[in-house]
Structure 1
Amino acid sequence: MIRLFLLFLLLNFSSLSAFTQRLLRIQSPNNAIGLTVQHLPGGGMQYAVSYKGKPVIAPSGLGFVLSKPAVLLTQFTVTAVDSSRTDETWKPVWGEVSQIRNQYTELILTLRDKGKSGIVMRVRFRVYDDGLGFRYEFPKQGALNHVVVADERTQFRLTADHQTFWIPGDYDSNEYLYNATKLTAVNAVAAAVKEKDIALKTVIGPNAVQSPLLMKTGSGLYISLFEAAVVNYPVMHLQLDKKTLTLTSQLVPDAVGNKAYLQTPANTPWRTMLVSDKAIDLLTSKMILNLNEPLAIADPSWIKPQKFVGMWWEMHVNKATWQLTGGKHGANTQNVKKYIDFAAKYGFDGVLVEGWNVGWEDWFGNWKEEVFDFVTPYPDYDIDALTDYAQKKGVRLIMHHETSGSVTNYERRMDAAFSFMVKEKINTVKTGYVGRIIPRGEHHDGQWMVNHFERVAQKAAQYKLMVDSHESSRPTGRHRTYPNWMASEAARGSEFNNAPTLGITPEHTTILPFTRMLGGPMDFTPGLFHMRLNQFDNSRTTRVRTTLAKQLALYVTIYSPLQMAADLPENYEQHLDAFQFIRDVPVDWDDTKVIAAEPGDYILMARKGKGTNNWFAGAITDENARDLTLPLAFLDQNATYEATIYRDAPTADWDTNPESYVIEKKTVTAKDVLKIHLAKGGGCAIRLVKE
């Protein structure tokens, strides 16, 4: 690290006193992104952002409202200016690349409240080549110990009415379809009313949207507003003022209306923006990860990416039930053995079992404190015998802990539940938080729950367990610090293919990597092969709106180190030639190349398997058929590869012929360019093996 103190020129001024009413400007390392900070004559602080000389964020305010002490922190005296540059490289435990460069220019302003409180606050900016982040810091000080945040006054003032990809601001759900409209056309309440299949909604208001928020300007700039390293603080949603085109931070309140409880020293999460004139830059950015703290686990060698199958989709297509009553209980010993046999035969690491434990009969909607104890199986589920059976087959069971929103109950029982997992030689848990939260009045996105999700990761690490969280707040790069928190759902996942109202549109999976997935891997549960979901219930009209080839490509375009083959074994056994791609595709990578992408339209990328010379490519499209080209220049020069191409058949169509595909093989080199045709709602998956 090279520290360069006070190198930044004040515009025509070089003294701190001059800055109190002037501008301070810094640039990203490549000079593409400019940050301007202005101290207004009355004491207010504003920042602005430009990209290649063009304004991106117009002058926007910074500040806080505290209720303890009762202070409005918007007028300041600047007491210090500090700066530095950092250029370092680190290696993630697992991920999309084998190493990550962390290069930025940093500016720190120390501010003192101009009022009687005398409170000292720092604002720390880090400017990267692909974006910037800033956070507020409250150092330890005599005048400030315990802090209650009533509101945060962070603003993002936009320069025009951009095209925007958004979902309604909601304190309890992020499982919405994305809307694509002009910013001024946002109507979150109307959009939420259309969503009939979301179990729990707490919509903020008509002009509230969630972050990450993706925008595209008329001149072709892509802007993403988000946050990083959300720790001991609520999730940030955004309130839109359509007249001024200003987005203001909307923090999630607790049961009594407060936003956060802090004790100095304390930091907020980073408020972030990614900016580029190339869509692919958003998909390759590692800024969110870089803004998180380094690895907190001394020896992470036990953390292993994995592929798994599961006794899960049966319940969604009405073949089986979670509960024991009714005669269709899926998680019985003999049925789970079939999944273990299937996993062992085809080389999968684990078997997820849902509905194994007592309590599913009255688990949903009762806002009940005691539902599950996480250690008592149903009488038809012999967990000891299944553990032994799986171990002999070289497979592990994956635990499922549905809390039914009763989080206080889960916290009391976590040690017992994790000890039980260790006893049963189970090293991975899928957690769930369906329903209203207990303690009553808290929200999924509030500070209390953010702290709970962090506690689960920390506690699981003590037991050397890996976590896949569902119905959690969306990730913000915490897997850098706790890589055992391997994946989250936190968006509309594949289970919504079974939703009777809106389901999942073909464009949805072309938007997720630009939005939700900027914060971390998603357990989307791809790999559905039977697209009409009336297999076991003739009354069902729901369907999967992709082609089979696209389901294969999702294993490349939607990254997770925990990847599920979501469909039933019998559906895979009808297409073993296509199923081979799911068997072969890695879940950990040395390198990733995004070849072409446009949010809401298409994505084409290639990834190199960890520790191998093999590459895998995936291409997906929205409801429109299209043709893409894949230059193979990323392959090793002077080498040949066998390319196995899994593509849509000429007659494939997500609506009329979704399960039609073609598999072909050819020899290729780095000089070749593959032409890829994608059907409506279609995709293409390619395996490239070095010969």
Structure 2
Amino acid sequence: MLALICIFPLFGQAQTITSPDKNLSMHFELKENGVPSYELTYKGKAVIKPSSLGLEIKDAASFVNGFSIQKTEESTVDTNWDPVLGEQKTIRNNYNELLVTLVQTKLNNRYLRIRFRLFNDGLGFRYEFPKQKDLNYFIIKEENTQFNLSGDHKIFWIPGDYDTNEYAYTTSKISEIPSLMKNATININAQQPIKNVAIQTPSMMKSADGLYINIHEAALVNYPAMSLNVNAAEFKLSSHLTPDAVGNKGYMQSDTQSPWRTIVLSDKATDILASKLILNLNEPTKYKDVSWIRPMKYIGVWWEYFVAGKSTWAYGTENNVKLDQDFSKLTPNGKHGATNERVKAYIDFAAKNGFDGVLVEGWNIGWEDWIGNWKEEVFDFVTPYPDFNVKMLHDYAASKGVKIIMHHETSGAATNYERRLDRAFQFMNDNGYDAVKTGYVGQIIPRGEHHDGQWMVNHYIHVAERAADYKIMVNSHEAVRPTGLNRTYPNWIAQESARGTEFEAMGGLAHEHTTILPFTRLMGGPMDFTPGIFQTDLSYYKTGGNQRVNTTLAKQLAYYVTMYSPLQMAADIPDNYNRFPDAFQFIKDVAVDWDNTWILEAEPGDYITIARKAKGKDEWFVGGITDENTRTANVPFDYLSKGKKYTATIYSDAKDASWKVNPQHYEIRKVIVDSKSNVKQFVAPGGGFAISIKEATDTETKEIKKL
């Protein structure tokens, strides 16, 4: 009897909760030796088989076994909240929660909490470390969270890496990952591949019986980013945290917690893209005043740097410069892009076409030897080159109703950036800049730290918070992949953190790349993908390059709807938009902030069609894309207001178009639609389509054909 009483707390207190719609069930229990374990089912099917939970602690007893359940608490939440910027005006937050308090009686009753939240679209859980007598400061050696999958699923993955997310996606079975890892791990600047077989999150999978599963994390704060170790033979994934310069994974002080581990799932691919689970697991915004945070559509002195050397970031020809030297004495290279004359031309174009801002890269001193030297003081973020007049250009832009967007490339020297941060932001305030693109190309300084480690995770958040003090919006590139923190820090308006358009000029993007990104990278937050390239054959510039953008022109239009961001760039050179003014009209018209979103059809790696309603307007926009295969998209209009007639302007691939042949052949037609209409739309190989929808006038109703 005494033995049974002692064993009972370890084996006898299993807990099960279900999602509000009863489709999902999560079961928690302690296994042998008091090891925490959970499992997850969907409509009676196993999704996650029994999987262990816990953390290893350095130089102290670990949180992996020896637990008994002290108490459990259950609750239900069903509320709504409004994001500052987003894909929906209002988001529902509905879940059932189980909070389990686990005690290690042999360790002076040291205790840990694991909080589970089960939504209709998935599960989130995290570790919580309450303040207590025997738990003050501790160092994480590794987190031992398992995701034991039910089969050899199809998976869309990139290699695990501590410093870059800019890999091309590989599609395979889980069992095939080890044999494909070498070819998938191509050389990328400042990369640090994980030595054992590992992949990055968000990780998107599809089971043989049609279940879609996405594993990621939410609210990554004061903690290293998580990759996933792969046991390919047994279809098991487990957490792998990014280490710091001395190999430790995280420095913690109670009261504290881990990020949420997230599993989004459904038997419909469209539900994965519609999920707001990750946003719901983040804290509400910390800012009392958010009136200064706004969506933006911009152009920039940017793409011309990538098209085979048309122009350059650097002003001089030298390759060994210091911040304290006289940059006016540099020998001009004759190709500097950020000149007064060129920037004024971009400002004129932005003003003429209704764009909010102009990004200018290469305006500031230091670009002559900015990469590859692991050098700390490359940029000071306040000193312009001799041919860039800050005050004159600000005044000129202001007179046209346009904002110049600041660029802060750090070359990975985060220490240098933090020392100069307040001066840089004050300089922005003094000169009328209220948005900044930050960059972290290269190896990180402090030396030995990683882009995805705890130190840098805290750095990115510090930059966002400090920027908010100056009412500045931040668009970060080469930063850790997002985890929904744009809810908490809404001025962190967008990120890159994946292969974007620049790679179209550096070997090209695979045709399916942008049909995968919404299921992976964009699960965590908006991406500054920089779409809108109209001149897809880059040999056009006759500068020696023969690279091509692997899409049709119409697909570039569709990206403004399928690749969500409240910060959208028209990335091509203005001259190319002037050559195709009728197609450019869609970019001018399309919204960047939304009241509602409908995922009409989707299959990762194959196609996506999305409809969105513009924020505060009776206007809708639709975008559809495909991979290398032609297809016919199905576009309903049942989201339109009933009883009204609308003019739909359809921008589509011409019948003879493809990404390789006639990519600039497109058609534009107008039809009258209502909520009962439906269109079957041809999509060329590597192509897409875009639709703008506005309420029809009486004249349009009479003169335009009804669909």
Task: Give the TM-score taking structure 1 as reference length.
Answer: 0.96
| RMSD (CA atoms) | 1.5
> Following TM superposition, by how much is the alpha carbon of 1:260 offset from its aligned partner in structure 2, in angstroms?
0.2
Structural mapping, 1:411-426, within 5 Å: 411-426=418-433
Matching residue of 1:394: 401
Q: Tell me the alpha carbon deviations over residues 376-412 of structure 1, each in whole angstroms, 9 at most, x when there is no partner.
A: 0001100110000000000000000000000000000
Contact 1:168/1:191 (<8 A) preserved = no
> Following TM superposition, by how much is the alpha carbon of 1:78 offset from its aligned partner in structure 2, in angstroms?
1.1
Q: Secondary structure at the match of 1:478?
A: coil
Matching residue of 1:5: none
Query: 1:409 & 1:285 partners in 2: Cα distance?
Result: 38
* Residues 41/70 of structure 1: CA separation in 2 closer, same or farther (3 Å cut): closer
Q: Secondary structure at the match of 1:73?
A: coil
Matching residue of 1:251: 241
Query: 1:431 & 1:394 partners in 2: Cα distance?
Result: 24
| Selected match of 1:436 from 430, 436, 443 | 443
Contact 1:398/1:429 (<8 A) preserved = yes
> Following TM superposition, by how much is the alpha carbon of 1:475 offset from its aligned partner in structure 2, in angstroms?
0.4
Contact 2:9/2:69 (<8 A) preserved = no
- What residue identity is the alignment partner of 1:429? V
* Residues 135/194 of structure 1: CA separation in 2 closer, same or farther (3 Å cut): closer
> Following TM superposition, by how much is the alpha carbon of 1:631 offset from its aligned partner in structure 2, in angstroms?
1.1
Say whether residues 1:120 and 2:125 are aligned partners.
no
Matching residue of 1:566: 571
Contact 1:60/1:156 (<8 A) preserved = yes
Query: 2:196 & 2:454 partners in 1: Cα distance?
Result: 23
Q: Tell me the alpha carbon deviations over residues 313-362 of structure 1, each in whole angstroms, 9 at most, x when there is no partner.
A: 01001211000022100001111000000000000000000000000001
* Residues 351/675 of structure 1: CA separation in 2 closer, same or farther (3 Å cut): same
> Following TM superposition, by how much is the alpha carbon of 1:147 offset from its aligned partner in structure 2, in angstroms?
1.2
Contact 2:550/2:659 (<8 A) preserved = yes
Query: 2:556 & 2:69 partners in 1: Cα distance?
Result: 55
Matching residue of 1:539: 544
| Selected match of 2:76 from 85, 90, 113 | 85
Q: Secondary structure at the match of 1:480?
A: coil
| Selected match of 1:659 from 660, 664, 668 | 664
Contact 1:16/1:80 (<8 A) preserved = no
Query: 2:616 & 2:184 partners in 1: Cα distance?
Result: 48
Q: Tell me the alpha carbon deviations over residues 546-598 of structure 1, each in whole angstroms, 9 at most, x when there is no partner.
A: 00000000000001001000000000000000000000000000000011000
Query: 2:616 & 2:262 partners in 1: Cα distance?
Result: 33
- What residue identity is the alignment partner of 1:627? T
- What residue identity is the alignment partner of 1:342? F
Matching residue of 2:204: 214
Query: 1:191 & 1:103 partners in 2: Cα distance?
Result: 42
> Following TM superposition, by how much is the alpha carbon of 1:244 offset from its aligned partner in structure 2, in angstroms?
2.3
> Following TM superposition, by how much is the alpha carbon of 1:672 offset from its aligned partner in structure 2, in angstroms?
0.8
Query: 2:195 & 2:542 partners in 1: Cα distance?
Result: 38
Query: 1:471 & 1:307 partners in 2: Cα distance?
Result: 21
Matching residue of 1:309: 299
Structural mapping, 1:22-421, within 5 Å: 22-71=13-62, 73-116=64-107, 118-187=109-178, 190-191=181-182, 195-196=186-187, 198-205=188-195, 207-317=197-307, 318-325=309-316, 326-421=333-428
Matching residue of 1:613: 618
- What residue identity is the alignment partner of 2:256? A
Contact 1:163/1:216 (<8 A) preserved = yes
Contact 1:359/1:371 (<8 A) preserved = yes
Say whether residues 1:597 and 2:587 are aligned partners.
no
> Following TM superposition, by how much is the alpha carbon of 1:73 offset from its aligned partner in structure 2, in angstroms?
3.1
Q: Secondary structure at the match of 2:33?
A: coil
Q: Secondary structure at the match of 1:288?
A: helix
Query: 2:584 & 2:388 partners in 1: Cα distance?
Result: 29
Matching residue of 1:460: 467
> Following TM superposition, by how much is the alpha carbon of 1:534 offset from its aligned partner in structure 2, in angstroms?
2.1
Query: 2:179 & 2:416 partners in 1: Cα distance?
Result: 33
> Following TM superposition, by how much is the alpha carbon of 1:619 offset from its aligned partner in structure 2, in angstroms?
0.4
Q: Tell me the alpha carbon deviations over residues 53-79 of structure 1, each in whole angstroms, 9 at most, x when there is no partner.
A: 111000000011101434353221211
Structure 2, gaps ≥5 residues long? 1-5, 317-332, 697-707
Structural mapping, 1:419-568, within 5 Å: 419-500=426-507, 503-568=508-573
Query: 1:32 & 1:590 partners in 2: Cα distance?
Result: 28
Query: 2:36 & 2:603 partners in 1: Cα distance?
Result: 36
Task: Give the TM-score taking structure 2 as reference length.
Answer: 0.94
Q: Secondary structure at the match of 1:653?
A: coil
Query: 2:480 & 2:108 partners in 1: Cα distance?
Result: 34
- What residue identity is the alignment partner of 1:504? L
Query: 2:10 & 2:639 partners in 1: Cα distance?
Result: 48
> Following TM superposition, by how much is the alpha carbon of 1:600 offset from its aligned partner in structure 2, in angstroms?
0.3
- What residue identity is the alignment partner of 2:41? S
Contact 1:187/1:206 (<8 A) preserved = no
Q: Tell me the alpha carbon deviations over residues 512-563 of structure 1, each in whole angstroms, 9 at most, x when there is no partner.
A: 0001100000000000000011233442121100000000000000010010
Contact 2:10/2:31 (<8 A) preserved = no
Contact 1:43/1:114 (<8 A) preserved = no
Contact 2:472/2:491 (<8 A) preserved = yes
- What residue identity is the alignment partner of 2:243? P
- What residue identity is the alignment partner of 2:656? T
> Following TM superposition, by how much is the alpha carbon of 1:116 offset from its aligned partner in structure 2, in angstroms?
2.8
Contact 2:72/2:98 (<8 A) preserved = yes
* Residues 27/446 of structure 1: CA separation in 2 closer, same or farther (3 Å cut): same
- What residue identity is the alignment partner of 1:323? A
> Following TM superposition, by how much is the alpha carbon of 1:195 offset from its aligned partner in structure 2, in angstroms?
2.4
- What residue identity is the alignment partner of 1:215? M
Contact 2:629/2:685 (<8 A) preserved = yes
Query: 1:188 & 1:443 partners in 2: Cα distance?
Result: 26
Q: What is the percentage of aligned positions where both structures have the same residue?
A: 54
Query: 2:274 & 2:184 partners in 1: Cα distance?
Result: 34
- What residue identity is the alignment partner of 2:497? A
Structure 1, gaps ≥5 residues long? 1-14
Query: 1:534 & 1:74 partners in 2: Cα distance?
Result: 62
Q: Tell me the alpha carbon deviations over residues 421-440 of structure 1, each in whole angstroms, 9 at most, x when there is no partner.
A: 00011000000000000000
Query: 1:188 & 1:469 partners in 2: Cα distance?
Result: 34
- What residue identity is the alignment partner of 1:55? A
Query: 2:495 & 2:610 partners in 1: Cα distance?
Result: 22
Structure 1 window deviating more from structure 2 (111-120 vs 293-302): it is: 111-120
Q: How many pairs were matched up?
A: 675
- What residue identity is the alignment partner of 1:477? G
Query: 1:96 & 1:87 partners in 2: Cα distance?
Result: 20
Query: 1:538 & 1:383 partners in 2: Cα distance?
Result: 30
Query: 1:573 & 1:247 partners in 2: Cα distance?
Result: 50
* Residues 449/117 of structure 1: CA separation in 2 closer, same or farther (3 Å cut): farther
Contact 1:640/1:669 (<8 A) preserved = yes
